[in-house]
Amino acid sequence: MSVASAATRTAPPGAPSRGSLYSLLGLMVFFWSLNFVIVKIALREFPPLLLTALRVALAAGVLLGIFAATRPQRRSARWTAREILLLLVLGVSGVALNQGFFVAGLGRTSVAHAAILMGLTPVQVLLLAALTGQEKLTGRKLTGLAVALLGVAVLQLSHDGSGAPSMSGDVCILLSGFAFAVYTVGGKNLTSRHDSVTMNTFVYLGGAVVLSPVILWQPVHFAAVSATAWLSLAYMALFPSVVSYLIYSYALAHMEASRVSASSYLQPLLATLIAIVILDEHLTAPILTGGTLVLAGVYITERG
């Protein structure tokens, strides 16, 4: 008897099979990986800050529609004044800064660098959680952190002769991960009181409000933007921000969190392969070595 058939037999009535869950997770990783390349394409015609503002506004609109449609089936605690203020801070950090630095970074560095460095986000979350007393650093976690940082150092050897543009992009990507780490650690208590749809909807709305002046003030001739760029923007707002999030939440409800998070290890590899095919990027020995060390360090840290 196969493992898949055994899991299907022992699953509760109406529960999805392991095969369908892993298929959904594979689709989620594909959407996230392709997003690195799609952002590169959209940046050919949109300024980074405007692209971020439009993406957040569209995603907020979609999430607001989902929130309204599912509200009768959900129960959420009443928001306190302190939580509303915290929600605004989380919207600035987890949405506006996170996605702003991400788009700016991709405009200055390669997809391979960006995908690998985004894989460091769990390590950044761990460090912030340790500083705030939510988690404890162990010897194994510190070892994993050291291995991951060594991987980042090796990764920098893959810069071309100019070096500076790619280096500044890498820094932006790291800042994007740090902004998301602040969001993750800062919003931990909110997730115990409010459902994920409610929280993410209003976090995105907060980010959209903060970024809204950009849409009004950024000088761009929208009529001159190509259909390819508009479709790229629509993809960024819908699939990585909304569809992948829904898949992630659904998978968490039906399987172990460790198995769900483990799927993210495929993202740097898949994003790099897609960039090689579509953008004609090239693999180098430092990228392969540095990427392996970063992922190994994150793996050790998460199991420390």
pLDDT tens-digit series, residues 174-205? 999 999 888 878 776 666 677 778 777 888 88
pLDDT of 128 reads 86
pLDDT value at 167 more than 60: yes
166 residue type, one letter? S
Task: Specify whether the backbone of 172 is left (phi greater than 0), alpha (psi in -120 to 50) or beta.
Answer: alpha
Q: pLDDT class for 97, splitting at 50, 70, 90?
A: very high
pLDDT of 123 reads 85
d(CA 163, CA 168): 9
Quote the percentage of the chain above a pLDDT of 70. 87
DSSP single-letter state for residue 162:
S
100 residue type, one letter? G
d(CA 144, CA 304): 8
Residue ranges of domains in the chain: 20-302
Show Cβ contacts of residue 71 under 8 Å, excluding neighbours closer than 6 positions. none
- Cβ pair 175, 101 in contact under 8 A: yes
Higher-confidence residue of 8 and 294: namely: 294
Higher-confidence residue of 166 and 121: namely: 121
pLDDT value at 5 more than 90: no
- Cβ pair 270, 91 in contact under 8 A: no
pLDDT of 62 reads 94
pLDDT of 41 reads 96
Task: Specify whether the backbone of 280 is left (phi greater than 0), alpha (psi in -120 to 50) or beta.
Answer: left
CB-based burial label for 37 (10 Å; 0-12, 13-18, 19+): buried
pLDDT of 231 reads 97
d(CA 63, CA 242): 7
**pLDDT, mean of residues 122-151:** 87
Reduce the secondary structure of 165-214 to three states and give it as a string.
HHHHHHHHHHHHHHHHHHHHHHCHHHHCCCCHHHHHHHHHHHHHHHHHHH
| pLDDT tens digits for range 206-258 | 899 999 999 888 777 888 899 999 999 999 999 998 898 788 878 876 777 65
In a 13 Å sphere around the CA of 202, the CA atoms on its Cβ side amount to 17
pLDDT value at 161 more than 70: no
pLDDT of 3 reads 31
Identify the weakest region by mean pLDDT among 76-80, 114-118, 265-269, 299-303: 76-80
pLDDT of 180 reads 84
Identify the weakest region by mean pLDDT among 92-96, 123-127, 139-143, 192-196: 192-196
Identify the weakest region by mean pLDDT among 23-37, 44-58, 154-168: 154-168
Can you tell me whether residue 2 is helix, strand or coil?
coil
For 105, the token pair is 């970074």
Give the pTM.
0.84
Show Cβ contacts of residue 8 under 8 Å, excluding neighbours closer than 6 positions. 17, 18, 19
Q: pLDDT class for 301, splitting at 50, 70, 90?
A: confident
Average pLDDT of every residue of the chain: 83
Quote the percentage of the chain above a pLDDT of 90. 40
